[in-house]
A and B are shown apart, each in its own frame.
Chain A
Amino acid sequence: MERLILRVTTKLLFAPIILFALYVQFHGDYGPGGGFQAGVIFAVAFILHAFCYGLDETKKAVPQKALTVAMVIGLLFYVGTGVATMLLGANLLGYDSIDPDSTHHAGQHYGILLVEWGVGMCVASTMMTIFYHFTGREPDINQEDW
């Protein structure tokens, strides 16, 4: 086995990083954190994976196609929540319309949760796409290409 210590450490760290990302994601409503930070942390887990096992292995686990779809769905989650509140009769992103009978503005919680989820998804997949493109790049640009 090559680089045993690295492999085991990565395996050990991978799940806690994802867990921490989810913690930051869901904690974002009440304290510091939110979709953007969570997305970055989530992507870090896969970047660590790529550092240890190589980019090709990571691309097998999470292909670029899937990332593109995740990016699109993430953004649509965000704007979709806004459009949904419009369809429910409020202004864009008027979350109160999600749960209008609530006495403690529960709609605000649901609304921001959905939006942050979209942001998290979009940021995580974008971060990984950027990483894929930077590391997957040809080391040198061919002289004749200039």
Chain B
Amino acid sequence: MNFAEQLPVLPIITPLVMAPVTLLLPKGRAPWAWATLASWLTFAACVFLLREVSASSAGFISYHLGDWAPPLGIEYRVDLANALVLLLVSGIASLVFPFAYRSVQLEIDERQSSLFYGALLICMTGLLGVTITGDAFNVFVFLEISSLSTYALIAMGARRDRRALTASFNYLVMGTIGATFFVIGIGLLYQATGTLNMADLHDKLAGNHSRVVDAGFAFIVVGMGLKLAMFPMHLWLPNAYTYAPSAVSAFIAATATKVAVYVLIRFLYSIFGFDFSFMGSAFTFVLLPLGLAGMFVASFVAVFQDDVKRMLAYSSVAQIGYMLLGLSFATVEGLTASLVHVFNHALMKGALFMAVACVVLRAGSHSVEAFAGLARRMPFTTWAFILSGLSLIGVPLTVGFISKWYLLQAAFAAGHWYAGFLIVASSLIALLYVGRIVEVMVLREPAEEGKYAIPARDAPLSMLIPMWIMVAANIYFGVNTELTGEIARRAAEALMMVAGGAP
């Protein structure tokens, strides 16, 4: 086996081989250790892959499954855009998996622990598969793999709160509608072109202006819009994130919607391209206004939540608005901003949901009252929350600032100056909802007795260390943008070249 040649398939095959084995391990610590090992191996493979892609002269690596040459065979095609998302998903997993142990011990029945980690690994496999593949139908298959395991993972929150069941069922129905729309869209494109390979689809769609392709485009945008919780199709998201087990919230909030945003970018830019007649109007009349509306409406709703997880979930919907805004500018700067924000938002939401998981472990609740006086009882968790909250607002020296800076530059460069002001205005709403929690944590007296009386103990080290690595990443990538900014820009330029827009 030639390691370098097989590298593109390793991020998929490693967790896929290791996931079923977790079911046979004795319950308790073993499945966790095994899953953590799997996530680290996968992360290592993704790091090597990014280095390989970054150095390759063609700008992408192609891997032919079963030695069948594309466009007939399934191709894994890794360029900088998906190498960055792969790195993100596996990186988040390699932090959330070790973090999960204590949280899962509390929230999940021990008899289900091996099933839980197995499902988590399968979910990761699906998300990585969606990202890596260069075949449109393969995207759907992996999307279903990740979604089905996500439904099960969210439903496992039912041990603490039965509402997890309805949240999961709701997500199942909405997610399935989204996936169905998506596969109908792919079916229409297949009918029009006779191919499923993304690069080949792009070539064959050039100059094809039939109704079938138009309908396929609409189905794909709406289907993916549901999956990525584009406002106003976000209604499944708040409940799903709120009632899922804490570790699951941290993982899916940081990865699942980001991968869907990536798929949307891939389809819009790499498959349809600017030659396609609907692109301009889709950007101007759908993605741009919905992105802006999401930024404001979801942020406003977040301010009035009395549950911290639900607040963060609404904030996620708002942040997805920024990503849609970036990609709807249809410029290299806008696309760069969108990709950078995909990466950065995952870091901040990951850290925030991890902090909430620590609070749930000690206080047993994620309502705002449980956060009262937390600064005195759990200083490390509190500061992790505050720092990543600042990052969410977009304070300089954090990743949030970098995202917004790129986005503002893109907005002004694209001539959408009003969007620039709206970005700043919606950041002020973020200040409101984060500030509200910080005020409760720092200034409020801790509850001495009753439901929310927290023992004066911080979270265990097994949770604090991964969480603080995530917080450190929030600051590191906020100072050093070489990795994110530079790779995102090169990825955006490559995407733009394929799409045929002005560079």
Interface residues of A (CB under 8 A from B): 68-69, 71-72, 75-76, 79-80, 82-83, 86-87, 89-96, 145-146
Q: Which residue of chain A has its CB nearest to the CB of B24?
A: A72
B2: A residues at CB distance < 8 A: 89
Q: How far is the CA of A94 from the CA of B1 in the complex (A)?
A: 12
A/B pair count, beta carbons within 8 Å: 49
B65 adjacent to A93 (CB under 8 Å): yes
Q: Is the interface of B mostly helix, strand, loop or mixed?
A: helix
B162 adjacent to A146 (CB under 8 Å): yes
B66 adjacent to A79 (CB under 8 Å): no
Is B6's CB within 8 Å of the partner chain A?
yes
Q: Which of B126-171 contact A (CB under 8 A)?
A: 162
A90 adjacent to B24 (CB under 8 Å): no
B162 adjacent to A91 (CB under 8 Å): no
A83: B residues at CB distance < 8 A: 13, 17
A82 adjacent to B13 (CB under 8 Å): yes
B20 adjacent to A76 (CB under 8 Å): yes
Known: A72-B23, A91-B64, A92-B6. 17 other contacts (CB 8 A): A68-B23, A68-B24, A76-B17, A76-B20, A79-B17, A80-B17, A83-B13, A83-B17, A86-B1, A86-B6, A91-B9, A91-B63, A91-B66, A92-B13, A92-B65, A93-B66, A146-B162
Is B425's CB within 8 Å of the partner chain A?
no
B67 adjacent to A91 (CB under 8 Å): yes
B24: A residues at CB distance < 8 A: 68-69, 72
**Contacts A79-B13, A89-B1, A91-B9 given; does A96 touch B20 at CB 8 Å:** no
Q: Is the interface of A mostly helix, strand, loop or mixed?
A: helix
Interface hub of B16, B66, B67 (most chain A Cβ within 10 A): B66
A76 adjacent to B21 (CB under 8 Å): yes
Q: Which residue of chain B has its CB nearest to the CB of A73?
A: B20
Q: How far is the CA of A92 from the CA of B63 in the complex (A)?
A: 9
B67 adjacent to A90 (CB under 8 Å): yes
Q: Which of B1-53 contact A (CB under 8 A)?
A: 1-2, 5-6, 9, 13, 16-17, 20-21, 23-24
Q: How far is the CA of A83 from the CA of B14 in the complex (A)?
A: 10
B162 adjacent to A145 (CB under 8 Å): yes
Q: How far is the CA of A87 from the CA of B6 in the complex (A)?
A: 10
B20 adjacent to A72 (CB under 8 Å): yes
Q: Which residue of chain B has its CB nearest to the CB of A76?
A: B20
